[in-house]
Structure 1
Amino acid sequence: MTASFDFAVVGAGIVGLAHALAAARAGHRVVVLDREAQSVGASVRNFGFVTVTGQERGDCWRRALRSRDVWAEVAPQAGIRIEHEGLLVTARRAEAMAVIEAFAATDMGRDCTLLTAAEARSRCPHLAAGGLAGGLWSPHERRVESRDAIPKLKDWLEAEKGVIFLRPVHVHGIEERTLYTSAGRIEAARIVVCPGDERLALYPERISALGIGRCRLHMLKVRPGNGARLPGAVMSDLSLVRYLGYAALPEAQALRRRLEAEQPAHLAEGIHLIVVQGADGDLVVGDSHHYEASPAPFAQGHVDDLILDELDAVLDLGPRTVVERWMGTYAHLPDRLMVVDAPEPHVRLVVVTSGTGASTAFAIAEEVLADLEGATA
Structure 2
Amino acid sequence: MPATPYSNHGFDLIVVGAGIVGLAHAYTAALRGLKVCVVERDAAAIGASIRNFGFITITGQAPGDTWRRAMHAREVWQQVAPYAGIDIVHRNLWLAAYRPEAHDVLEAFMRTPMGEACELLDAADAQAKAPALSLADACSVLYSPHELRVESRTAIGLLSKWLAEAHGVTFRYGEAVLEVQAPRVRTSRGTLHAERVVVCTNTDLNGLFAERIAAHELTLCRLQMLRVKPEAGFRLPGSVMMDLSLVRYEGYSTLPEAAALRARLQQEEAASLAHGIHLIVVQSADGSLVVGDSHHYADAPEPFAMEEVDQLILRHLRSTLNLETAQITERWTGVYPSSKTTPCVIDAPDDATRVVLVTSGSGASTGFGIAHDVLDAW
Bin for the TM-score computed over the shorter chain: over 0.9
1:67-97 alpha-carbon deviations (Å, 9 max, x no partner): 0000000001101000001000001111111
Moved more, 287-296 or 194-203: 194-203
Contact 1:78 1:156 in 2 (8 A): yes
Contact 2:119 2:144 in 1 (8 A): yes
1:354 to 2:360 alignment: yes
| Unaligned residue ranges in structure 2 (runs of 5+) | 1-5
Partner of 1:154: 160
Paired amino acid for 2:241: M
3-state SS of paired residue (1:179): strand
Partner of 2:3: none
Query: Which residue, 184, 201, 206 being the options, matches 1:200?
Result: 206
Query: Which residue, 17, 20, 24 being the options, matches 1:14?
Result: 20
Distance 1:227 1:64, change over 3 A: same
3-state SS of paired residue (1:280): coil
Paired amino acid for 2:361: G
Contact 2:336 2:359 in 1 (8 A): yes
1:296-352 alpha-carbon deviations (Å, 9 max, x no partner): 011110010011111111112112101000001101101110000001101000000
1:366 to 2:376 alignment: no
1:84-120 alpha-carbon deviations (Å, 9 max, x no partner): 0100000111111111111011110000011001111
Partner of 1:104: 110
Provide the rounded CA distance (Å) in 2 between the counterparts of 1:109 and 1:2. 49
Partner of 2:82: 76
1:1-55 alpha-carbon deviations (Å, 9 max, x no partner): 6741011000000000000001000001100000011111000001110000000
3-state SS of paired residue (1:127): coil
RMSD: 1.0
TM-score (norm 1): 0.97
Contact 1:226 1:317 in 2 (8 A): no
Partner of 2:339: 333
How far did 1:228 drift?
A: 1.6
1:92 to 2:113 alignment: no
Paired amino acid for 2:13: F
Query: Which residue, 232, 237, 247 being the options, matches 2:238?
Result: 232
Provide the rounded CA distance (Å) in 2 between the counterparts of 1:292 and 1:231. 36
1:234-292 alpha-carbon deviations (Å, 9 max, x no partner): 00000001100000111111111111111110000000010000111101000000011
Distance 1:276 1:122, change over 3 A: same
3-state SS of paired residue (1:67): helix
Residue correspondence of structure 1 range 121-132 to structure 2 within 5 A: 121-128=127-134, 130-132=136-138
Provide the rounded CA distance (Å) in 2 between the counterparts of 1:347 and 1:318. 53
| Unaligned residue ranges in structure 1 (runs of 5+) | 373-377
Provide the rounded CA distance (Å) in 2 between the counterparts of 1:102 and 1:176. 48
Partner of 2:327: 321
Query: Which residue, 17, 27, 38 being the options, matches 2:33?
Result: 27
3-state SS of paired residue (2:215): helix
How far did 1:199 drift?
A: 1.1
Contact 2:337 2:358 in 1 (8 A): yes
Contact 2:198 2:356 in 1 (8 A): yes
Distance 1:117 1:129, change over 3 A: closer
Partner of 1:375: none
Number of residue pairs matched by the alignment: 372
Partner of 1:67: 73
Provide the rounded CA distance (Å) in 1 between the counterparts of 2:127 and 2:274. 30
Q: Percent same amino acid among aligned pairs?
A: 52
Distance 1:185 1:73, change over 3 A: same
Provide the rounded CA distance (Å) in 2 between the counterparts of 1:266 and 1:96. 16
Contact 2:123 2:135 in 1 (8 A): no
Provide the rounded CA distance (Å) in 2 between the counterparts of 1:227 and 1:296. 37
1:156-210 alpha-carbon deviations (Å, 9 max, x no partner): 0000000000011110001231000012100000110001011122111111122
Distance 1:353 1:129, change over 3 A: closer
Contact 2:72 2:368 in 1 (8 A): yes
Paired amino acid for 1:188: A
Provide the rounded CA distance (Å) in 2 between the counterparts of 1:103 and 1:228. 30
Provide the rounded CA distance (Å) in 2 between the counterparts of 1:13 and 1:195. 8
Provide the rounded CA distance (Å) in 2 between the counterparts of 1:233 and 1:82. 12
Paired amino acid for 2:333: M
